[in-house]
Amino acid sequence: MIPLFFLVVCAEGLVAFLLMVKIGPLRELVIKGLDQVKMRRATVLTIAGTIFVILLSNLFSILKIQNKGAKHGTMTPMDQVLWRTNLLEATLMGFSLFLGFLIDRMHHYMRKLIKLRSNTGVSKQEVEMLEKEKLQLKEKEEKAAGEVKRLQKEMSSLTENLNKLRSESAEKDKKVETAEAHVAALQKQAADLLLEYDRLLEDNQNLQTQVLGHRN
């Protein structure tokens, strides 16, 4: 029993050491191996329970031998050998259970740490994507601002042209009005001249009639 538990304690110590110290891919292999072991959790708990029962039995034997030696005042050589054997076995089993619990907790927190690191990696990727999208939005915003400025310039230019056309149209309207007034004046003058011409023709005919009357 003692050599077996000694090998178990050495193996558990090696596993705990590999979990604490990263040596190449050995830590990942140990973690994967512990994952496989934890898949058979019922078997592991049964073994741990058996060791714990044996530990209690050894402790009971140690107390029994000590009480026997106290009654007789001394322990026989056989009792001394049994006491030391039981004490060594109890020590190895207790240390084995302690290392097993320690390895279980280390494995549990290692898994949590790996999960947190993977989540952190995903979070970093999300942050990088958000920053990239932010830069793209900023570029689009700058392009939109440049387009707005260009449109504002075009609008101001079109407004200037419209105002210019309006002023030119107003000037043309004034010229048209002036021309229309001038035409109206000319038409009136022509009408007056026609009336005067008709009057002169009438006077001329009257004179001709008078001249013919005198000759006769």
Give the whole-number percent of the chain exceeding pLDDT 90. Answer: 0
Q: What's the pLDDT tens digit per position in 14-43?
A: 888 888 877 778 878 887 888 788 777 787
- Which pLDDT score, from 0 to 100, does residue 122 have? 65
pLDDT per residue over 90-132, tens digit each? 888 888 888 888 888 888 888 888 888 777 766 677 778 888 8
Q: Are 79 and 65 in contact (CB under 8 A)?
A: yes
**123, HSE (Cβ side, Cα atoms, 13 Å):** 6
Dist. CA 111–CA 133, nearest whole Å: 33
- Average pLDDT of the residues in 169-191: 87
Where do the structural domains in the chain lie, given as residue ranges?
A: 1-129
Going by pLDDT thresholds of 50, 70 and 90, the confidence category of residue 1 is low
Residue-wise pLDDT tens digits, 69-82: 777 777 778 878 88
Checking if the pLDDT of 173 tops 80, the result is: yes
Nearest residue to 69 (alpha-carbon basis) of 57, 83, 90, 87: 83
| Region 194-207 average pLDDT | 86
Provide the pLDDT for residue 215.
Answer: 67
In the prediction, which pLDDT does 141 show?
87
pLDDT score recorded for residue 97: 87
In total, the chain counts a number of residues equal to 216
